[in-house]
Amino acid sequence: MEKEYRRVMDICHTCRRCYNLCPSFDVIFKALDRPEVDGEIDRVPKPDLDAFTDLCYECKLCIPHCPYYPPHRWDVDIPRLVLRDRATRVRSAGRPPIRDRILGSADAMGRLASRAAPFVNFANRNPVSRWMLEKTLGVHRDRLLPAYHGETFDRWWKKRGGKTMLDEVRGADAVLLFVTCSVNYNRPETGKAAVEVLERSGVEVVVPPQRCCGMPFLDSGDLDSAREHRRDNVGSFLPFVRAGIPIVTPGPTCSLTIKKEYPALGPEPDAAEVAAATLDLSEYLMKRHGAGKLAVDFARSAGHVLYQIACHLKVQDIGFRSRDLLALVPGTRVEVVEKCTGHDGTWSMKTEYFPISMDIGRPVFEAVDRARADVVATDCPLAALQIRQGTGAEVRHPIEIFAACYRTEEIHGEN
């Protein structure tokens, strides 16, 4: 692992296109520029390589910057290199650190927290309990944490009598909605808006059994747990995919994980089939618009929307589909911010990285303050939380704004 790390860092040293992209590159280039190192990668101490991994928050924005990314023969894939290093650490230690295991267990935490949502939400805002959380788990006391809902999307879907089985699908136009754990437990209104927009355009929605996509486990190097989640999701989704039903999801990290990481996680012959059938929600809706099958009977404009494009959407090479979707609404002006907010999974929750994450997000915060938009939007729920942390602004998922434009009530609501 160390030999491969030094090979890749030596290539990065001769390029340096990413010198100001994130803290990881900053630390390695400063190490290479020290007089005693003098640009020789073999002289860089191992702790500096370790710091590169620790400071990487897997935004993956180095991918579109890198001229040596696969299929280039030099095979420079920084995000995968970091994941390999983390997996190697876990393999050596036997298991991930307790903090990573707890913060990464999105489904388990969500199930517990949603059943006691008022208490959990109060505790997450209480200075005393937050001090205790910082001392015991290393979650920064000032970090805004997602709110939990007693009525999760799953519970709402069951109460509604929503479809969960393949034999319930009746029409030719249907999608499998991968809800995401963030939407299910923290932002059920995003899922409800997605259902509203899809059904208004004549699309049947089915929500089969599903688990977290597994990205939190990948982030911590727990490949066994990530593969377990992949296996269960692929097994649940495959019959739908083979029946010609695409998978759509409002979560950029989840669509990226299924599309890119599932096939790369090792032997699972059906993972590539599921990956090929997966689309971001706005990607799917814009395809439907291109076919003349998207409802456009809007009752109101969204006004001036400041839209921050999520990093994990940007690296999917699908264009700015949520921007394009909102621009379909007459009278709507969409202003785009192409900067990372710096939240990125559980990384910025940690005491040692929270201040750095706020520095990373500062250009986005400044753009929000300057724009004075009618509404701020992003596809990433954690980016939304970070923007709210840095500006106090309410942030909506684009599908919530789009759905509200069919109606006459205000777009704004409780975040």
CATH class of 295-404: alpha beta
pLDDT exceeds 60 at position 118: yes
pLDDT exceeds 70 at position 387: yes
Q: What is the mean pLDDT of the chain?
A: 94
How far apart are the C-alpha atoms of 321 and 380, rounded to whole Å?
14
pLDDT exceeds 80 at position 373: yes
Query: 327-360, pLDDT tens digit by residue?
Result: 999 999 999 999 999 998 899 999 999 999 999 9
How far, in Å, are 8, 320, 329 from residue 252 at the CA level?
A: 27, 12, 22
Count Cβ neighbours within 10 Å for each residue of 264-278 and write b for 16 or more, e otherwise: ebeebebbebbbebb
Query: 196-205, pLDDT tens digit by residue?
Result: 999 999 999 9
How far, in Å, are 152, 289, 296, 325, 403 from residue 198 at the CA level?
A: 19, 12, 12, 13, 10
pLDDT at residue number 345: 86
Closest CA to 382 of 32, 143, 39: 143
> So where are the chain's domains?
2-93, 295-404
Model confidence band, residue 364 (pLDDT cutoffs 50, 70, 90): very high
The share of the chain scoring above pLDDT 90, in percent, equals 92
Query: 135-185, pLDDT tens digit by residue?
Result: 999 999 999 999 999 999 999 999 999 999 999 998 889 999 999 999 999
Query: 232-282, pLDDT tens digit by residue?
Result: 999 999 999 999 999 999 999 999 999 999 999 988 889 999 999 999 999
